[in-house]
Amino acid sequence: MNLIILGPPGAGKGTQCERLVETFGLVQLSTGDMLRAEVTSGSELGKKAKILIDAGNLVPDDLIIAMISSQIDRPSTENGFILDGFPRTTAQANALHKMLSEKSLKIDHVIQLAVDEEIIVSRLSGRFSCAKCHAGYHDIFKKPNKDGICDKCGAQEFLRRSDDKPETVRSRLRAYREQTAPILPFYDEKGVLKVVDGMGSMEDVYNTVREIILNG
Ligand code: AP5
């Protein structure tokens, strides 16, 4: 089972992936996480990416396509994968299609999380994650059970993303509208696009996505 999860920044892609990885044993391939790891490592790619990410712009297609291709080839994806944040442009969607055909793989479902733009700034301004295991939280919608302690690994250090500032979020939304939303008809025509209302609770959204995976 191979999935793509699509939606604007803050739609809940990462949140749903955490649950889907646990339940279905899929590997999450998040281009955003891969880029942030490059930034942390201080690599040349990371230095270039940081400038673009902090401005709310997309990283060039060729860099992203090379990055994801090597990840799909890893043995850990044997049970299936969820592409989170990829593809994001028409060029990436075409490259993915070609790459998967060459590897005799296919995408079973493309899940689009639909969320109103007004709610996104509040979701992202309250987001934080565990510095150690990267579990995701929110100041209002998903607090750790014990204040200041990660539910999953017990760490006491948390991080906030530098691109979650309201002005950067507005640029990210524009990039989504102009460069990512146009790829949705490509998947609709292939009959694999499933639109899920991402405005409900995390649990409701998860149950809908789970139902799609189990029953199509
Ligand atoms: P990336 O890391 O992919 O960010 P994004 O797509 O903007 O998505 P987010 O991670 O911000 O949001 P999400 O949908 O995962 O929401 P989450 O679950 O955390 O990309 C970052 C940057 O990297 C890009 O801007 C670009 O520069 C670059 N990049 C990445 N991929 C690229 C590519 N393919 N090509 C080119 N450039 C690329 O939820 C958000 C918050 O809301 C959380 O706090 C959560 O707890 C809360 N929440 C979630 N669901 C709910 C709910 N149902 N109700 C209430 N609260 C909720």
pTM for the model? 0.94
Ligand 1: residue of 19, 34, 59, 176 to mutate (most ligand atoms within 8 A of CB) is 59
Q: CA 144: distance to chain centroid?
A: 21
Catalytic residues: 13, 88, 127, 161, 172
Condensed to tens digits (0 to 9), the pLDDT of residues 5-59 reads 999 999 999 999 999 999 999 999 999 999 999 999 999 999 999 999 999 999 9
Task: Kindly provide the residue ranges of all beta strands, DSSP E only, lying in the chain, ordered along the sequence.
Answer: 3-6, 27-30, 81-84, 109-114, 127-130, 136-138, 158-159, 193-197
CA atoms within 13 A on the CB side of 117: 10
- The ligand 1 atom at the shortest distance from the C-alpha of residue 136 is 46
Condensed to tens digits (0 to 9), the pLDDT of residues 111-126 reads 999 999 989 998 999 9
Section 74-84 average pLDDT = 92
Asked if residues 111 and 194 have their Cβ atoms less than 8 Å apart, the reply is yes
Q: What distance in Å separates the CA atoms of residue 126 and residue 205, rounded to the nearest whole number?
A: 19
Which residue has the CA at smallest separation from atom 29 of ligand 1? Answer: 32
- The ligand 1 atom at the shortest distance from the C-alpha of residue 123 is 42
Q: What is the Cα gyration radius of the chain?
A: 17
Condensed to tens digits (0 to 9), the pLDDT of residues 185-215 reads 999 999 999 999 999 999 999 999 999 999 9
- Going from the Cα of 86 to the center of ligand 1, the distance in angstroms, rounded, reads 11
Q: Is the CB of 8 under 6 A from ligand 1?
A: no
In this prediction, residue 73 has a pLDDT band, given cuts at 50, 70 and 90, of confident
Condensed to tens digits (0 to 9), the pLDDT of residues 149-168 reads 999 999 999 999 999 999 99
- Going from the Cα of 138 to the center of ligand 1, the distance in angstroms, rounded, reads 13
In this prediction, residue 216 has a pLDDT band, given cuts at 50, 70 and 90, of confident
Q: What distance in Å separates the CA atoms of residue 57 and residue 167, rounded to the nearest whole number?
A: 12
Q: CA 168: distance to chain centroid?
A: 17
pLDDT at residue 49 in the model: 96
Task: Kindly provide the residue ranges of all beta strands, DSSP E only, lying in 79-149, ordered along the sequence.
Answer: 81-84, 109-114, 127-130, 136-138
Which residue has the CA at smallest separation from atom 49 of ligand 1? Answer: 12
77-112: b (≥16 Cβ within 10 Å) or e: beebbbbbbbbbbebbbebbbeeeeeeeeebebbbb
Ligand 1: residue of 35, 112, 117, 201 to mutate (most ligand atoms within 8 A of CB) is 35
